[in-house]
Amino acid sequence: MKRAIPTIKQTIPVLSLNDYLHGTRSEQAKFVENLGSALSKIGFFALEDHGIDSELIEQSYGVAEEFFSQSSETKSKYILGNAGQRGFTDFGREHAKNSSTPDLKEFWHVGRDVRSLEKFGKSSLKNVWPTEVPQFKPSMESLYSKLDKCSLVLLDACSKFIGEEKNFLRGAAEGGNTVLRIIHYPPIEDDANPASIRAAAHEDINLITLLCESTAAGLELLQKDGSWLPIRSLKGQIIVDAGDMLQQLTNGLIKSTTHRVVNPDNSKERRFSMPFFVHPKSEFSLAARDNCVARTGGKKVFADITSAEYLHQRLREIGLI
């Protein structure tokens, strides 16, 4: 008699992008409602049928592992004087807001190709690429492009939920400061600070984040009762969460939820993840939208600020400038 293999279920709402892209009007409206419900209640959901091939994600993790396996001397060649916005950021540099204990991670940032910004009449920081890993550039550029396309569709749905024109958030993000962060969490050293974890409790800075299938468990979100809920890393799913900028823009209608990455039971286990942080243009105002203020009690919760000002403030708070 064959034993039934238990199905691992996701712990957060699961949405299919096909319902929005190819569904009936009713299915599209339901997708917007479900997206808005997830982001306004817990700040997270899992997305299926998102159009990013698992093979590309696996390939990208492969080249990431190849780069992060290089010597410290080699990796340090790619530390740039740009507050970590491009290239390599070394182990222990970043810490969570209001924490003096460094996270147990190192990472690489890929930004928008400057050539793609020509139509916006603006310049941007240039990407750098590790010559030691030739496949790194084409893999990450392809992944960035596909995640960017997916994120704009999700922003269209977000715009509808908050009562704005469909292209409102898309227009803010097109040509914005979006970055793909490739993170390596090395094995935990015996002499590691006992107060450090892989990523201390924090909220994302940006509009929304798309998190590719991580290579190991560890991600948890803080629930209203103070407990931590593990989020599964399941094949075929991208985890989506709202950041502080979207929370500010919606006057708290959409929640930027605290989350963390805990240390593994097996201290020798490495972990890789690739969050895609969707940022608006620098000049974009995060002032709360009137209809969101009306839906959240009629009083503005946050001070008016631009995206650039907010990002600069947060980069200082997490130790990158």
Give tens-digit pLDDT for 238-285: 999 999 999 999 999 999 999 999 999 999 999 999 999 999 999 999
- Residue 8 maps to a domain: no
Residue 188 has pLDDT above 50, yes or no: yes
pLDDT of residue 321: 73
End-to-end CA distance of the chain: 61
- With a CB cutoff of 8 Å and minimum separation 6, the contacts of 155 are 169, 170, 172, 173, 207, 208, 278
State mean pLDDT over 134-155: 98
Assign residue 179 the CATH number of its domain: 2.60.120.330
Whether residue 6 is contained in a domain is answered as no
Kindly tell me if the per-residue pLDDT of 308 is higher than 70: yes
Q: How far apart are CA 163 and CA 150, in angstroms?
A: 21
- Positive or negative torsion for Cα 304, 309, 311, 317: negative
| Res. 117: pLDDT tops 80 | no
Q: Could you report the per-residue pLDDT of 195-232, keeping only the tens digit for each?
A: 899 999 999 999 999 999 999 999 999 999 999 999 99
* Domain housing 62: 14-317
**Is residue 115 over pLDDT 70?**
no
pLDDT confidence of residue 215: 95
Whole-number Å distance between alpha carbons of 316 and 253: 26
Long-range contacts formed by 124-132: CB under 8 A, 24+ apart: 124/177, 125/82, 125/85, 125/86, 126/86, 127/86, 127/87, 128/78, 128/80, 128/86, 128/87, 130/67, 130/70, 130/74, 130/78, 132/67, 132/70, 132/74
Share of the chain above pLDDT 90, in %: 83
pLDDT digits (tens, 9 = 90+) for 174-184: 999 999 999 99
The answer to the question of residue 4 being in a domain is no
pLDDT reported for residue 92: 86
Residue 122 has pLDDT above 90, yes or no: no
Q: Read off the pTM.
A: 0.94
Q: In the prediction, which pLDDT does 6 show? A: 53
Please tell me the distance from the alpha carbon of residue 87 to that of residue 109, in angstroms, as a whole number.
5
Measured CA to CA in angstroms, residue 266 lies from 3, 200, 221, 235, 321 at distances of 28, 18, 21, 22, 33
- The tokens of 223 are what? 């629930």
**189 located within any domain:** yes
Q: State the pLDDT at residue 1.
A: 41
- 5 assigned to some structural domain: no
Q: If we measure between CA atoms, which residue out of 69, 56, 10 comes closest to residue 230?
A: 10
Q: Above pLDDT 70, what percent of the chain?
A: 94
Task: Name the domain count of the chain.
Answer: 1
Q: What is the average pLDDT value for the chain, to the nearest integer?
A: 93
Question: Which residues on neighbouring strands pair with residue 273, listed in sequence order?
Answer: 183
